[in-house]
Amino acid sequence: MIMIYFVACYSTNLQEDPLSSIVVNSPYINDGGIFKDFLMQSTDHVLSLKSKLGDTSPSSMKTFNVDQYGAQGDGKTDDTKAFKKVWQVACSSKGSVVVLAQKNYLVKPITFSGPCKSKSIVVQISGSLVASDNPSDYKQDPTHWLMFDSVQKLSVKGGGTIHGNGNIWWQNSCKTNKKLPCKEAPTALTLYKCNNLVVEDLNVKNGQQIHVQFQNSANVRVSGLTVTAPEDSPNTDGIHVTNTQNIQISNSIIGTGDDCISIVNGTKNLKATDITCGPGHGISIGSLGEGGSKEFVSGITVNGAKLSRTTNGVRIKTWQGGSGSASNIKFQNIQMENVTNPIIIDQNYCDQQSPCQKQKSAVQIRNVLYQNIKGTSASDVAMQFNCSQNFPCQGILLQNIGLELEGGGEAKASCNNVKLSYRGNVSPSCNYIEEMHELGGFGKTHSMN
C-alpha cells in the first residue's frame, strides 16, 4: 500500500554517546570551556528534540483515496494532478488520512506546501513514487522533484520507495562528460522550512542529484533510511543538511556516488549514529567558504559508523578565501574498511578545473575530537591534516586511533599547520614539537608544520 495519512508525530528513544573523562579534562583545551561544555552537553539538543516530537493525537480524521482524485498508479500515466488535489484537500482538513493503492505512481515535479490546518501530518509511503525522466518537465524548477515546503509536524515514512530515475541527468553531467557545461539537477526529496519533522523507514534510490535534503528546518529526526545509487553517479549525496538545527540521523544505510552525509553552512547540533556508508565519498562537513563566503557549522557528532570502500572517511573540507568556522565536532566509534583518506581535514579544497589561487583568509577549524577510530586504509596516508598557514587547525584531539594499510602494513600521517594532542594509543601519528609556552607551561600542544 501507499498511504498518506494524518496522525501525530511521536517520540522515540534516542541513543546517547559516551563521554571520556580524559577528553573532558584534556589540558590542551584553552577556549574558556566552550569545547568542554559541548562534550558534556552534546545530548541536550537530542533530549530537547525528543520532547518536541512528543505525542499528540488529532481529535478527528478523514480518509481520502488518491485514486478517487484521478491517480492511475500504472507507472506510465502522469499522476501529478491527483497528488496536488489530494494534498490540497488533506492539508485543508484538521485531521486526514490519504490512502493510495499499492502501485507505482509516476509524478512530475511537485511541491506540497504548508502551512496546513492539520496539527500534524504523516505521509505513509508503502509503494513507489517514480520521477519523470524527461528533463523538460523540470523547466520551471530544475533543482527539485518532491518538495515539502513549510509543513510543520510532518512525518514521512512507511517502507516504500522514492525513485529518482536519475540516469539521464548522470549521463549529461559535466562530472561524467568534461565537455558538457555544469548544470544543476533536481534533488529527489527536499524538506524545506519543516520544523518538528520525522523522516523514517524509506528507500530512496537513483536520485537525479542529491537524494534527501534538509534545508532551513529545525527539530528533525531521521532514521531507517536506505539510500542507494551507482558508485559512479555524480553529485548524488545521500543526505544533505544545510541551515538546519537540532537534527538526529540514525540507523541508516547509504551508498551513492558522493558524500553519504554532507553537512554544510548553518548546520548546528547534528548527531549521526549507527550509519553504514559505502560506496561514496564518506561523511563530510563542507565544503565551506566557497567564493569568499562566511559560513558556520558547529555541534556535530558522528558516533557509531562503518565506512567501506569510500574515497574519504570522516572529512572536513573548506575553500581558501572563506571565513567563519567549523567547531565543536566529534567523530567517535568508527570502523574503516579499505577507506581512502580515513581521517582528513583539507583547508585547501579546490573542486574546479582551473587551479585555485592561494588566499590569506580561511574558515577556522577548531575543537575536533577523533575517538576510537579503527580499521584499514586504501592509501598510504591514513591521516591527513592539510590546514591553513594563516588559520591553522586548533584543538584537534586524537584518542585511541588504530589505522593500518589494507592488506597489512604501517600507514602514515601527514600534518601541516595543525595543533593537536594525543590520548591513548594513536597510530599512525605525526612527528611533533612540544611547545610548552603556548599554554603558559601547562600541558602540551603538538604543532605540525
Q: Can you say whether residue 316 is alpha, beta or left, with left for phi > 0 and alpha for psi between -120 and 50 degrees?
A: beta
How far apart are the C-alpha atoms of 401 and 415, rounded to whole Å?
15
Distances (CA, A) of 368 to 21, 169, 209, 364: 16, 37, 30, 12
Q: Are 365 and 19 in contact (CB under 8 A)?
A: no
Q: What is the CA radius of gyration of the chain?
A: 23
Catalytic residue among 144, 211, 240, 281: 281
Neighbour tally for 92: CB within 10 Å: 11
163 is an active site residue: no
Through-space distance between the first and last CA atoms of the chain, rounded to whole angstroms = 60
Name the grid cell of 53: 516530537
How far apart are the C-alpha atoms of 194 and 215, rounded to whole Å?
8
The pairing of strands 261-263 and 283-288 is parallel
DSSP, collapsed to helix, strand or coil, labels residue 50 as: helix
Phi and psi, residue 21, nearest 5°: -65, -30
Neighbour tally for 352: CB within 10 Å: 9
Q: Which residues are catalytic?
A: 281
